[in-house]
Amino acid sequence: MFGALLASEGARFQGSGSRLPVSGSTFQVAGGPERGTAAVLESVARDFSPRIEVVGDREVVIDLRGLDRLIGDAPTIASELRRTAAGRDMHVRVAIADTRTAARLLVHAHPGLTIAEPGDERHAVAHLAIDMLRVVVDEPDLPTLRRWGLRTLGDLAALPDDEMAARLGQAGVAWQRLARGEDPRPLVPALPEERFEQALDLEWPLDGLEPLSFVLGRLMEPLSAHLEQRDRGAAVLHVRLHLVTRAVHVRSLQLPAPMRDARTLRTLALLDLESHPPPAAVDRVVVAVDPTPGRVVQFSLLTRPLPSPEQLSTLMARLNALLGEGRSGSPVDVDSWKPGAFGVAPFAPSDSTDVHGHGTRRLVDTEKHSRGFRASESPYPVTAMRRFRFPVPVRVRLECGKPVRLTTDRRGIDGGSIQACAGPWRSSGAWWDSQLWNRDEWDVTLASGETYRLFHERESGNWFLDGIVD
């Protein structure tokens, strides 16, 4: 699509620019296929405005509103754009119009400088061939438009809107607006790639975390200010320590939520280095983050607010440094039939309500369901078991293979004769590793009225209480 446009210039680099009426619009530049053309075009565009939109490898759209007060009228700005590009070994086309669409159409149609008067974009592009619609539309239905006898964009723009919608739908209406030089959407600025990184070369090597903490604090302050300025948060924190042995000690921390507080980031880095200290002295420190959009917090009037992610991250980092990796977090179910089996996952609580109030609706539905369940009569009793965190050792006397008396030394647990029992239920598994279990379970009711879950370990022959049945 850009080959004929570039061939018209016949230079080593080709380009084009668009948009900037004196009242302010957009400027477009298109460049050739040489290596580095896109980067040069973007740098030329950013010299004039921070609001640019990269359309393709060789095309850039820039919003230059307000530059008439700094540089001059539209011809002066267009000349400055071509002069700046020529200083970097690139020849460009420049088109200036009040809309981004008209500027793009004109820059592909005419070499050199093209300027459309503000408000006259429809007439400026009316003489262009209907094929130029490909510049701003991915796949226009040009065969159908040609069968209708349309040859120029002005012919397409003059058709009635309702007739276009009846025959080609909303796509036809959109093509017609583009043929009039109208913009389908506002300009979407392209953000420059920024590196959120701070480094410091030390005058002498540091050995130990205490002196290193001052260096980390010095680096985190400007890094946090940079994140605050760009409304970004740190998703991943990277710490690279260059050692005197020419090795590099690298640590990366996945943060549970975007954060940019300098003290919190320094504390997390120090706690991680305390668990994974560098093997030698440090002579260079580099701190970098993977940025992510800043966190927007909206609290609920119906639930208590959770602690901030900075506080939770610091607490969990301290627990991991004290207990070891994987020894603190939230309990989760595991795919096992072993009684009491569970795993540990990273502690990452989520708010019970969202900004749309879905959590509140779930609470109301739960209450309605609970009231309905209590009102209904079920022929079966509802039971629950309070499991002991550690099984309680007991002594059991058997008669005819059934437990008849239970004795324990644990305070708060009654013993005595067993009035009723049910079982046994045999359970076993994991015979291939050290987590194997093989036991018989009983539900027993004592003379005092308490009901317990009792189990017998077949391998050791010991008896234990597993919990209380309510």
Residuewise pLDDT in 10s, the chain (470 residues): 222 222 234 333 333 443 333 334 444 444 444 446 777 788 888 888 888 888 877 788 888 888 888 888 888 888 888 888 888 877 888 888 888 888 888 888 888 888 888 888 889 889 999 999 988 888 888 889 989 999 999 999 999 989 888 998 999 999 999 999 888 888 887 777 778 899 999 888 888 888 888 999 999 999 988 888 888 888 889 999 999 999 999 999 888 778 888 888 898 898 888 888 899 999 999 999 988 876 666 666 776 666 666 667 777 777 777 777 777 778 888 877 777 777 888 776 654 444 343 433 333 344 444 444 444 455 666 677 888 878 888 888 888 888 888 888 888 787 888 888 888 888 888 777 777 788 888 888 888 888 888 888 888 888 888 888 87
Strand partners, 446: 418
Of the candidates 139, 136, 103, which has an alpha carbon nearest to the alpha carbon of residue 121? 103
**Per-residue confidence (pLDDT) for residue 128, from 0 to 100:** 92
Kindly report whether the global pTM for this prediction surpasses the value 0.85.
no
pLDDT at site 421? 86
Fold of 3-179: Alpha-Beta Plaits (3.30.70)
Specify the length of the chain in residues. Answer: 470
163 in helix, strand or coil? helix
- Measuring CA to CA, how many Å separate 165 from each of 153, 160, 173, 245? 17, 9, 6, 72
CA 172 to each of CA 133, 156, 458: distance values in angstroms, whole numbers, following the listed order: 12, 10, 79
What lies within 8 Å, CB to CB, of 90 at 6+ separation is: 13, 14, 15, 31, 37, 40, 41, 44
Phi, psi of 63 (to 5 degrees): -95, 115
DSSP letter (8 states) at residue 13: S
Question: Is-contact 156 130, C-beta < 8 A?
Answer: yes
Q: For position 298, what pLDDT does the model report?
A: 62
Place of tokens 């040009």: 142
Domain extents in the chain: 3-179, 197-293, 385-469
Structure-block tokens of residue 221: 């302050």
The CATH number of 197-293, from 1.10.10.10, 3.30.1490.100, 3.50.50.60, 3.60.20.10, is 3.30.1490.100
What is the spatial distance between Cα 430 and Cα 205, in angstroms, rounded to a whole number?
52
Report H helices in 22-73.
37-46
The residue among 341, 364, 361 whose CA lies nearest residue 353 is 361
Matching residue, tokens 């149609």: 109
Q: What residue spans of 327-407 are helical by DSSP H?
A: 358-375
Whether omega for the bond prior to residue 424 falls within 30 degrees of 0, making it cis, is yes
User: What counts of helices (H) and strands (E) characterise the chain?
Assistant: 12, 18
Contact indicator for 30, 1 with CB cutoff of 8 Å? no
A 10 A CB-CB count for 221 gives: 15
